Amino acid sequence: MNTDRGQLFSDALQKEIKSRFHYVDHDMNGRERLFFDNAGGSFRLKAAVDQFARIDALPDCPERIHELAIYLQEVQAKGTEDLRTILNAQGGSVYASLTASGGMFDMVRAIAEHIPGTNMVTTVLEHPSSFDAMSLYAERTGKELRVARSNAVTGGIDVQDIVSLIDQDTSVLSVIYASNISGAKLDIAEIVKQARAIKPELYIVVDAVQHAPHGLIDLQATPVDAINIAPYKFFGCRGSGMSWLSERASVLPHHKLAGKKKDFWDLGSAAPWQFAVVTEIVNYVCWLGSQVEEGGDRRALFSRGIRSIELHERALLARMLDGSEAAPGLRRMDNVNVFLDYEDLRKRDLILAVGIENLEHAQAVREYEKRGVIVYERVASSLYSRRMLHSFGLEGAVRVSPLHCHSVEDIDRFLNVTLEIGRAFANPAAVAVGARS
């Protein structure tokens, strides 16, 4: 079967998926709304929120010998294993921190401070959590920071533009899995292969925060040294970043209590709920996988589940762009610009950058909200977007990020709202005299 334009879940499965998440169709006050800002924090699984409350309700310290302390240790061990399931990682260390940024700064620091070299390589599309960590530790260790440029056609970074910056003196490469502005996926497998062909022992760090909820990561096929995810963007809860380090990276000197093992990274008291939430994420994706086909181990089920998410989201992306009889697609709307609109949908996560003519992006966000749709403006004045937008020659965009929980009807509703806003602001003169209301 050709899946270049994705494949939707059945209606029955779609309904069942929606019922497993909080607030997909309504907000907490019961108002109908379309939440299309999942790249800023995704819908939460009901099971994850329940487990968060259930586990965090326990006063017990996991570092005790009592029955419930041992139960909490088991919860942590299972969550640790389940992060490995998500990544297809073996061995190494799992590091739970408060945010993905915190984990990233610590990992970049350990590598930059202890792996010799005269330069460090990254890309212009990195989130500040890795970009700023790389620039800070490049400066502190006296290394040159080399930054690969973006490609405004694909919305991503060409492999060659990264690899051409790497040489024998590169200490570390840090690269984002998929852009949280354009949704473009980088070809991590090829980047790792070609980078290590130049320097086999190169340390590689990957920010998988954006991509992990949308596609399969396989560290057995694409070995790296450090990688992180944010459970709150992956159907889980806020207040948690989860990272994995390879064996050699895990034993680099880092902040830790002196008495802990060399490869231990958690600093201070662990929060077992963080691990329980990872397990619920994996339980859910495995359940989805079992809807495709029963059987296989946890990783096989997880792979099938994520693959079905990827295909459903790709079909939603196709519908957003090209529409149907129910609603015209964004590409066909006269007053709407789709930025960084690369043809090959297999290379994109479900994130769109759009602009509506005659309407400032922040104002467009308000117009959407008036009509029950939550989207987000990414503008060049924001520290979270400036570098990436400018690299594409853009001043801003409205970021639209639905999730696999959404149905084609949700996409059609969004398209009709967009059509309505586009028309309302089509004539700048009319806008000036108050056609907005």
* Chain positions contacting ligand PLP, by CB under 6 A: 99-101, 127, 129, 176, 180, 207, 209-210, 230, 241
Q: How far is the CB of 127 from ligand PLP (least distance, A)?
A: 4
Residues β-bridged to residue 95: 243
H/E stretch holding 112: helix 100-114
Nearer to ligand PLP, 240 or 358 (CB): 240
What DSSP assignment string belongs to 113-168? HHS--SEEEEETT--HHHHHHHHHHHHHTT-EEEEEPPBTTTTB--HHHHHTT--T
Q: How far is the CB of 229 from ligand PLP (least distance, A)?
A: 9
Nearer to ligand PLP, 9 or 265 (CB): 265
Q: How far is the CB of 384 from ligand PLP (least distance, A)?
A: 7
Q: Pseudo-torsion of CA 280, 126, 154, 171, nearest 10°?
A: -110
- Report the residue count for the chain: 437
Nearer to ligand PLP, 117 or 156 (CB): 156
Q: How far is the CB of 241 from ligand PLP (least distance, A)?
A: 5
Residue where the block lists tokens 């209606």: 11
Nearer to ligand PLP, 92 or 183 (CB): 183
Q: How far is CA 183 from the centre of its chain?
A: 9
Q: How far is the CB of 98 from ligand PLP (least distance, A)?
A: 8
Nearer to ligand PLP, 241 or 305 (CB): 241
H/E stretch holding 379: strand 376-379
Is 378 strand, coil or helix? strand
The residue number with the shortest CB distance to ligand PLP is 101
Nearer to ligand PLP, 136 or 292 (CB): 136
User: What whole-number distance in Å separates Cα of residue 320 and Cα of residue 326?
Assistant: 11
Q: How far is the CB of 208 from ligand PLP (least distance, A)?
A: 8
